[in-house]
């Protein structure tokens, strides 16, 4: 097995046993990127030389006998909306094509202190708006399992890089499913943490009350290790939760005795492909064989969640993206007649179609004539959805749903039909609306050979239970699929 095919946990053990060096691991990833990146197109900015330099520093510390963090020397890709000092952070937008942040996001500083090796910045839907990774200004990332299909979005570059062996781990961000959906499409593991458990300082905002940074990897253990590395209170983030966090990787159990799994009927109705329902229900039976008890539940407001999500997220996007006007940083149009003309031309030329669509929708629902009819009602529905989840968790420990109603779309399939793209988020947006944690796991393949994902949802701050449940499932099925060949 090549080094790029191994998990972070395996590579960490090999490093400490001196069976390989951090430089050898970094070089293996760099070589893999050279071999397949022209096909997958997962990266916007590569940092191969920096990765080797960081790897040499890790090897020196190991040689000196230093006690390093579990993920020291492990290559990780960073989604391009997470700020990296002196390294381009473009949000996959023409608007920020030349932006080099003067500071690191808190999660990046945490990883650098733990001596993780950064491979570069990963492609995404522009400003994290999309579900296919086709809205990037720079390139369209492909699904490593079939290059004619999308990898999902908005963290499509993160999912594709991990699936293709171009990174061992990756950071994504999740506003309505943007970690979990691409994890499902690319056959990897992706965790959307509880809102407030990971600092958002340095994450370029899309919808501030919904955004959350989270880990992506090929195994549950890897995701647990990365989550442990980035979670925790941050005084730079006013929404950050002050509490003690355990070592999630070492706390995972080997069985599911005493665990009740809720099956919400609303997530298995019309609109969800039959092959997806079957794969997820087969996953439910596997959880039952591990000792879990299955229980049918109801979350009646689910049908309205998508509407509430797009109203709330677009309203916040309209406000957050108002700062991009060509005055202080980023793109500025070349020819203009006045300040107002510069604003209009800069934003017209700098933003892509999907971003413009959401800004216009957000501005509309916040306008004086429509605020009560749309935004206020969406916020009331948000509370109702959160209350329904809280009630459901009184009778179960985790909730099992499909991650996406189908396998991946073909490239170009949703380009002219954004509503079809929006509908793909139906199973994931409720989690962000309620501020809950959720994890996506591979649970089979469709007739087209592409991965199917199942989603486990937990109550707030229940990541330990979620990861244990996911770990038991992973063990029961004998692990997840290998890295696609591609060459």
Give 272-317 pLDDT, tens digit per residue: 999 999 999 999 999 999 999 999 999 999 999 999 999 999 999 9
Q: Tell me whether residue 79 is one of the annotated catalytic residues.
A: yes
Query: In sequence order, what DSSP letters do the residues of 347-361 get, joined into one string?
Result: HHHHS-HHHHHHHHH
Q: What is the pLDDT of residues 469-487, one digit of tens each?
A: 999 999 999 999 999 999 7
Domain assignment present for 344: no
Q: Tell me whether residue 154 is one of the annotated catalytic residues.
A: yes
Q: Pick the catalytic residue from 93, 136, 158, 178.
A: 178
Domain containing residue 145 = 3-259+408-476
Q: Pick the catalytic residue from 21, 131, 136, 154.
A: 154
Domain assignment present for 92: yes
Under the banding of pLDDT at 50, 70 and 90, the label for residue 251 is confident
Q: For residues 23-37, give the mean pLDDT.
A: 98
Domain assignment present for 40: yes
Distance of CA 434 to the CA centre of its chain: 17
CB 173 within 8 A of CB 128: yes
What's the pLDDT score for residue 414?
86
What's the pLDDT score for residue 417?
84
CB 169 within 8 A of CB 188: no
Q: What is the mean pLDDT of the chain?
A: 97
Residue 164 has pLDDT above 90, yes or no: yes
What's the pLDDT score for residue 387?
98
What's the pLDDT score for residue 418?
85
What's the pLDDT score for residue 15?
97
What's the pLDDT score for residue 320?
97
Domain assignment present for 291: no
Domain total in the chain: 1
- Are β-strands 75-79 and 169-173 bridged in parallel, bridged antiparallel, or unpaired? parallel
Q: What is the pLDDT of residues 389-407, one digit of tens each?
A: 999 999 999 999 999 999 9
Q: What is the pLDDT of residues 197-218, one digit of tens each?
A: 999 999 999 999 999 999 999 9
Which stretches of 239-352 are DSSP H helices? 274-289, 302-320, 339-350
Q: What is the pLDDT of residues 81-104, one digit of tens each?
A: 999 999 999 999 999 999 999 999
Domain assignment present for 388: no
CA nearest 128: which of 192, 64, 196, 194?
192
Domain assignment present for 315: no
Domain assignment present for 194: yes
Output DSSP code: residue 126: G
Name the token pair of 83: 């700020």
Rounded to 5°, the CA angle 384-131-117 comes to: 105
CB 262 within 8 A of CB 375: no
Question: What is the chain's percent helix, strand, coil content, to nearest 5?
Answer: 40, 15, 45
Under the banding of pLDDT at 50, 70 and 90, the label for residue 253 is confident
d(CA 325, CA 126): 16
Under the banding of pLDDT at 50, 70 and 90, the label for residue 423 is confident
Write the CATH number for 432: 3.90.1300.10
Domain assignment present for 210: yes
Q: What is the pLDDT of residues 331-356, one digit of tens each?
A: 999 999 999 999 999 999 999 999 99
Name the token pair of 183: 């994890």
Q: Pick the catalytic residue from 7, 21, 79, 199.
A: 79
d(CA 349, CA 332): 9
């Amino acid at each position: 097995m090549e080094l790029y095919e191994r998990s972070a946990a395996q590579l960490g053990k090999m490093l400490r046993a001196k069976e390989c060096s951090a430089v050898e691991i970094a070089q293996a990833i760099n070589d893999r990127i050279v071999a397949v990146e022209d096909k997958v197109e997962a990266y916007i900015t590569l940092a191969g030389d920096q990765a080797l330099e960081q790897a040499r520093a890790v090897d020196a510390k190991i040689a000196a006998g230093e006690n390093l963090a579990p993920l020291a020397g492990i290559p990780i890709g960073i989604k391009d909306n997470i700020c990296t000092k002196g390294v381009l952070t473009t949000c996959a937008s023409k608007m920020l094509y030349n932006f080099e942040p003067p500071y690191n996001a808190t999660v990046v500083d945490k990883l650098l202190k733990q001596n993780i090796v950064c491979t570069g910045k990963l492609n995404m839907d522009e400003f994290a708006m999309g579900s296919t990774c086709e809205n990037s200004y720079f390139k369209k990332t492909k699904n490593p399992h079939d290059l004619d299909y999308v990898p999902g979005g908005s963290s499509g570059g993160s999912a594709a890089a991990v699936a293709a062996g171009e990174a061992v781990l990756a950071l994504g961000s999740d506003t309505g499913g943007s970690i979990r959906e691409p994890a499902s499409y690319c056959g990897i593991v992706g965790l959307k943490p509880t809102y407030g458990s990971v600092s958002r300082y340095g994450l370029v905002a899309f919808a501030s009350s919904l955004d959350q940074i989270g880990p992506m990897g090929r195994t549950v253990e890897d995701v647990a290790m990365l989550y442990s590395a980035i979670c925790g209170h941050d005084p730079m983030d006013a929404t950050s939760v002050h509490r003690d966090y355990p070592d999630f990787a070492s706390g995972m159990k080997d069985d599911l005795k005493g665990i009740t799994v809720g099956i919400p009927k609303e997530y298995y109705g019309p609109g969800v492909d039959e092959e997806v329902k079957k794969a997820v229900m087969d996953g439910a039976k596997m959880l039952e064989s591990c000792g879990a008890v299955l229980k049918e539940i109801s979350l009646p407001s689910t049908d309205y969640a998508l509407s509430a999500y797009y109203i709330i997220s677009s309203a916040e996007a309209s406000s957050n993206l108002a700062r991009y006007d060509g005055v202080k940083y980023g793109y500025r149009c070349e020819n203009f007649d006045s300040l107002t003309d510069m604003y209009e031309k800069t934003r017209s030329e700098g933003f892509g179609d999907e971003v413009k669509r959401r800004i216009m929708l957000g501005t509309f629902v916040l306008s004086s004539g429509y605020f009560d009819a749309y935004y206020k009602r969406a916020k009331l529905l948000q509370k109702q959805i959160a209350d329904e989840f809280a009630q459901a968790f009184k009778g179960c420990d985790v909730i099992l749903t499909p991650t996406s109603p189908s396998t991946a779309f073909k490239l170009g399939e949703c380009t002219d039909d954004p509503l079809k793209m929006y509908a793909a988020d139906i199973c994931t947006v409720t989690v962000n609306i309620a501020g809950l944690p959720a994890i996506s796991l591979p649970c089979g393949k469709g007739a087209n050979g592409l991965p199917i994902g199942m989603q486990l949802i937990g109550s707030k701050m229940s990541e330990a239970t979620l990861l244990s449940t996911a770990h038991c499932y992973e063990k029961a099925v004998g692990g997840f699929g290998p890295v696609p060949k591609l060459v």
